A and B are shown apart, each in its own frame.
Chain A
Amino acid sequence: MAMGPGVRKLALASHLTVAVGWIGAVIAYLALGVAATTSTDAQTMRGAWVAMEVTGWYVIVPLAVTSLVTGVVMALGTRWGLFRHYWVMFSLALTAFAVVVLILHMPTVSSLADVAKEADDQQLASLGGDLTHPAIGLIVLLVVQVLNVYKPRGLTAYGRRKQTSGGIG
C-alpha cells in the first residue's frame, strides 16, 4: 500500500503541519494555564479558562486526532510500516495515549471554564489553573518529536520476520 511520491509528500506535509501545530497549541494552552494560576486579576483568570476551553476543543483536539490519523497513514503508506520499527511503534503508542488522555481531560476543562464564568473573585482564585496535564502532554509530544527525527534503529520481531521474508524495504 505504498503511496506515490506526490501523495507521500502531501501526506508528510499534512502530518508535519498538524503534529508541530499540536505542540505549538499545547504551549499556548500552557501559557493560558500559567496565567490562570498566577494572575490576581479576575478578568484575566476568567478569560484564561474560557480561552483554554476554546483552544482545547477547537484547536488541540482536532490537531491531535488529525496528527494520529496522518501518522498512521504515513506509516502504512510507506515502507516504515506500523509495527516494524520500535521507534514507529513507540511513537504511535505515545501519540494514541496523549490523544486519549486529552479527550478524557477536556470535559473537565469545560466544567471548570463554566465554573470560572460564574465564579466571584475568591472562587476564581481558588480555581487555580491547568498545568499538570499540558506539561506532561508537552513532554510526551517532544519525546515523540525526538523519536521521529532521530529514528533510532531497531526492528521488532515482526519487522525482522518481514525482513527475512523480503517484505521490508
Chain B
Amino acid sequence: MPDPSTDARTTEVGQRTPEENFGASPRWVKVFLITGGVLVLLFVLATITGIAGEHGPGRHGSGNTPSSVPDGEGGGGHGSMDHDQ
C-alpha cells in the first residue's frame, strides 16, 4: 500500500492545478472502474449461464473420486463430487 518514502508527492498534490485537484475523477479511475465492472458482469453472466462450468470442487474430478470428502467451502458443492455419471 502506501509508500511513505514518497510522501513528498503529497506536496506535489498541493502544487497541481485546481482542475487536477478538484475536478472530476481522473481518466484512469474511470477506466479502472469500467474494466472492473465489465469483468464482474462477465463473471456473473458466465456463472448464471453455466458457461464457466461448476464453481467449487465439483469441477474437479469426474465423479469417481472417493465419497468421503470432508466439507469445506460453504456451498461449494462438495457433494457434487459424489454423484455418479
Contact = CB atoms under 8 A, between A and B. Distances in A.
A91 to B, nearest CB: 5
A122 B65 CA distance: 9
Contacts, number: 121
Given A90-B32, A108-B57, A115-B65, A80 B2 contact: yes
Interface string B28-47: 11001000000000000000
Please classify how large the interface on chain A is, using the bins under 10, 10 to 19, 20 to 34, 35 or more.
Answer: 35 or more
A108 B56 contact: yes
- Binding site secondary structure of chain A: helix
Interface residues of B, number: 40
A128 interface: yes
The 5 closest A-B pairs by CB, nearest first: A107-B72, A71-B1, A80-B2, A154-B26, A111-B72
11 contacts: A92-B1, A104-B73, A110-B72, A111-B57, A112-B60, A115-B65, A123-B64, A152-B28, A153-B26, A168-B13, A169-B7
Given A9-B4, A88-B1, 17 more contacts: A74-B2, A75-B2, A80-B4, A86-B26, A104-B73, A108-B72, A111-B69, A115-B61, A118-B68, A122-B64, A123-B65, A126-B65, A148-B2, A160-B21, A163-B13, A163-B14, A169-B10
